[in-house]
Structure 1
């Protein structure tokens, strides 16, 4: 087995390769340019070939130096990642949480900030909104909150709750355009909807809701929707009076309480899949992670009950069972 060259010389060469300047590399490493040059010469002696050549005032990498630098960079990136992981593992005052963007904005963030204040105001929360499913182990993410079958693939997971969608609109929309006597009257208004394809199964459609409400569509076209890829964008449009939205109950609690949205009808349809909580294998080594896990499961159970209560308490003009 061949002996490795001095690690310090390799580290200096890796830095020099990014800057291609003795002075800049010396500044980054907080050593003198002479020390950089000396370590470079030592490394070239160890590997038995020239790694750089001069071009004016700059140092360029030779072909061998370019390939060697690429491999050295990969090795040092792994070492840096390993160091960062050890630092994160020691840091019990941080919690990293990933979630689908709309749920993060409307449900997770407001709740978790309240929990943070009660549990540990000094706890650092790292919240990441992403539709792409992260590698929890590689990215050192403690928890992932996602939708549907995607989350059920994780070896460590549990269901949180299954949301419901219900028609909602701004009270100003009805005040300016008339009133509703029957669910079919919604067809007189712009329809806002969400489409999560192809990554996730989309929520129930307006066509499905009208069928459940026993509204005969006949030849009524339902293709001229205002379609959003993010649920909270469709909800924001409804708050702005741009139409009726099939909104997820868990995402409109605040808007209902503030009178920004109303529920003219109480018929709600469940989403095809539940929201799912998954976690990396070492998460529970952190006491805050264990407490967050228990707390979020209880919030999921509470949300399922709150959804039903929301529908029962709504001032519905034409209640449906």
Structure 2
């Protein structure tokens, strides 16, 4: 075994080399980017060579790193095939699913729990990420967009209705919920959904430029939390704040709601997947109450 490199470091190397991203490797391994970087340095120290060079904010394989990756990746593919065969022979199908973090915690996880109880023969393993990337090794994923992806099987899951929300205390301070009062509040923009506020404003007849107190946050989850704490107004996907609207911890900050129509959350999977039957069951379960989109 002394001839083998540290196996955790080798796994990190293979994922970074395959995806081109330390961040994606960290998400796949459920560790921090710093932990992945330390594993890469450990592997380079083991061999005494540089396997990557940094270019801008990314990493690129060196020539020797490229050669090493080409040699080891076939072995990882073999391990994946062997594992898939073992899973299939055990009589329990395994579905690896990736989702945006906020959508997973607020909508998907409760439904997956119910699905698992109804289908104990299917093991769903969920990974969350802050943004969409290719399916990779996943069997299915949640993707936000217009559904025009001919390479995938797609099913719309929810109506994507946007409405400003805030805490009851802030609403009382605002008084009448109109555009002029809205312009005096902190407005939370979400980095992953940069166009939502401008699209809502256009549909509501509100000048986006009048909303000058803009604060950019990393995720919708942070925007909702800041709104609940009374620090400003979030533009919510109403399906994701149903509990808060029902309990009253959030209230509409404006009476206009904007349905983005085809642009919503979809379950996507590879049309050529060998797991079509369990995927079909999952698709029917999650899309049972999905919107009718023409």
TM-score interval w.r.t. the shorter chain?
0.5 to 0.7
Aligned residue number for residue 196 of structure 2: 204
Report if the CA contact (8 A) 1:204-1:269 is conserved.
no
- Quote how far apart the aligned CAs of 1:226 are: 1.2
Query: Alpha-carbon deviation of 1:225?
Result: 0.8
Task: Return closer, same or farther for 1:81/1:151 CA change in 2, 3 Å cut-off.
Answer: farther
**Please, which of 134, 152, 157 is the counterpart of residue 155 of structure 1?**
152
Q: Cα gap change, 1:212/1:254 in structure 2, threshold over 3 Å: closer, same or farther?
A: same
Shift of 1:212: 3.6
Once the two structures are superposed, the pairs formed by residues 1-321 of structure 1 within 5 Å of their partners are 15-18=1-4, 70=68, 73-91=72-90, 92-117=92-117, 119-120=118-119, 123-130=122-129, 131-136=131-136, 139=137, 141-149=138-146, 152-175=149-172, 177-196=173-192, 202-205=194-197, 207-215=198-206, 221-271=210-260, 273-280=263-270, 281-282=272-273, 284-286=275-277, 288-301=278-291
Contact residue 180 and residue 264 of structure 1 kept, 8 A: no
SS of match in other structure, 1:250: helix
Distance 1:289 1:257 in 2: 32
Aligned equivalents of 2:115 and 2:74: distance in 1? 40
Q: How many pairs are equivalent?
A: 232
Name the SS for the 2:222 alignment partner. Answer: helix
Judging changes above 3 Å, is the alpha-carbon distance between structure 1 residues 95 and 152 closer, same or farther for their aligned structure 2 residues? same
CA gap of 1:126–1:294, structure 2 versus 1, over 3 A, is: same
Hey, which of these two has a bigger chunk of strand by percent? 2
TM superposition score normalised by structure 2: 0.66
Say what the alpha-carbon RMSD is for the aligned residues: 3.4
Q: State the 1:238 CA deviation.
A: 0.8
- Kindly indicate whether the alpha-carbon contact (under 8 Å) linking 1:158 and 1:278 is maintained by their aligned counterparts in 2: yes
Query: Aligned partners of 1:142, 1:254: CA distance in 2, in Å?
Result: 30
**CA positional deviation for 1:246:** 0.9
Alpha-carbon distance in structure 1 between the residues aligned to 2:178 and 2:72: 67
Cα deviation, 1:35-94, whole Å, max 9, x if unaligned, reads: xxxxxxxxxxxxxxxxxxxxxxxxx99xxxx99x95764553333222122223335243
| Pair 135,90 (structure 1): closer, same or farther in 2 beyond 3 Å | farther
SS in 2 for 1:189: coil
> With structure 1 as the length reference, what TM-score do the two structures score?
0.61
SS of residue paired to 1:188:
coil
Contact 2:185-2:213 at 8 Å conserved across structures: no
1:285 to 1:156, Cα distance in 2 relative to 1, 3 A: closer
Q: Kindly name which structure, 1 or 2, has the bigger radius of gyration based on alpha carbons.
A: 1
* Partners of 1:181 and 1:161 in 2: CA distance: 27
Q: 3-state SS of the aligned residue for 2:211? A: coil
Q: 1: CA distance between counterparts of 2:77 and 2:222?
A: 39
- Cα distance change, pair 74–187 in 1 and its aligned pair in 2 (3 A): closer
